[in-house]
Amino acid sequence: MLRFIIAIIFVVLYLILSLPIMGILWIVRLFTPKATYVMQRIVQWAFSVVWHIAGVRLEVRGAENLPQDGASLFVANHRGFFDVIVGYPLLKSRTIIVAKKSFRKIPILNLNMMFIGCKFIDRQNPRQGVEIIKACGEEAKNGTSVYIFPEGTRNRGDALKLLPFHDGSFMVAQRSGCPVVPMAITGTAEIFEQHVPKLKAGKVIIEFGKPELLADLPKEYKKHAGNYFAEKITRMLEEHVK
């Protein structure tokens, strides 16, 4: 419980202090778009502090597969809140997150997320979802990477039995031509979701697969990229538990 209390205190202090920082960077952004990336790095730093407070022992596999330049579509399995808290700081390029719309209602945090360009998706509104994915595709065309969870919601069942991947998520890569980087994440639910409201120290494995272009996928998967990457991530997850 102590870890949770310390984490909450840090988050509250960060959110309060982020207001004047965003004010300054908003002015700077009038002259250079680099201010947005500066804010992303600050958010990533805050996330990394939280996962250190939580006692996460992080193992990163396949770091050599992270693209060094240009936009990418990062697609990951979704087990818990710490998928973003641990995963996002590892993405060094300019990257936006696709998050559920409920995050837009959290004061100050929503301002942080909007400042760095995060998109909020309504799972109950397919039309809005398509518009969000199209907007992400335009971001990718302009060199901004996208971090998304194609399952659409947290998988609360067997970690090795992923929920169906929505093919619509891959429209980002289809519209922009950017590569898809699969991410397999293990251990995040054990940090928080399985012990709410406590934070329990534990090991998290994040593995990056090799980037792949949709145009290079086997013929039988070209219309169902979700199935292809779900199978690939499942195989990566299976290696995590051996």
Q: What is the pLDDT of residue 21?
A: 95
Q: What local confidence, expressed as pLDDT, does residue 124 receive? A: 76
pLDDT given for residue 168 in this prediction: 87
Query: Tell me: the pLDDT tens digits for 15-24?
Result: 999 999 999 9
Pairing between β-strand 202-208 and β-strand 180-186 as defined by DSSP bridges = antiparallel
What is the rounded distance in angstroms from the CA atom of residue 28 to the CA atom of residue 36?
A: 9
pLDDT tens digits, 78-127: 999 999 999 999 998 999 999 888 888 888 889 999 999 999 988 777 78
**What pLDDT is recorded for position 211?**
96
Q: Is the pLDDT of residue 45 over 80?
A: yes
Three-class secondary structure assignment of 78-109? CCCCHHHHHHHHHCCCCEEEEEEHHHHHCCCH
Please say whether the dihedral angle defined by the alpha carbons of residues 106, 108, 111 and 112, taken in this order, is positive or negative: negative
What mean pLDDT comes out for the span 173-199?
A: 92
Out of 46-50, 69-73, 151-155, the most confident range is 46-50
Q: How confident is the model at residue 223 (pLDDT cuts 50, 70, 90)?
A: confident
- Shortest CA distance to 206 belongs to which of 222, 219, 220, 187? 187
Please report which confidence band the pLDDT of residue 196 belongs to, taking 50, 70 and 90 as the band edges: confident
Q: What letter would DSSP give residue 179?
A: P
Give the predicted TM-score (pTM) of the model.
0.93
Contact between 88 and 95 under an 8 Å Cβ cutoff? The reply is yes
What residues does each domain of the chain span? 2-240
**Average confidence (pLDDT) over 55-81:** 94
CATH number of this structure's domain 2-240: 3.40.1010.10
Lowest mean pLDDT across 42-46, 74-78, 100-104: 100-104
Q: What is the pLDDT of residue 238?
A: 94
How many other C-beta atoms lie within 10 A of the C-beta of residue 138?
Answer: 12
Write down the H helix ranges in 30-160.
Answer: 34-53, 82-87, 109-115, 126-141
pLDDT score recorded for residue 5: 94
79 with 192: CB under 8 angstroms? no
Query: Which of residues 105 and 200 earns the better pLDDT score?
Result: 200
Specify whether the CB–CB gap between 115 and 37 falls below 8 A.
no
pLDDT of res. 162: 94
**Which residues neighbour 124 within 8 Å (Cβ) at sequence distance 6 or greater?**
none
Res 218: pLDDT: 87
- Whether residue 242 has pLDDT greater than 80: no
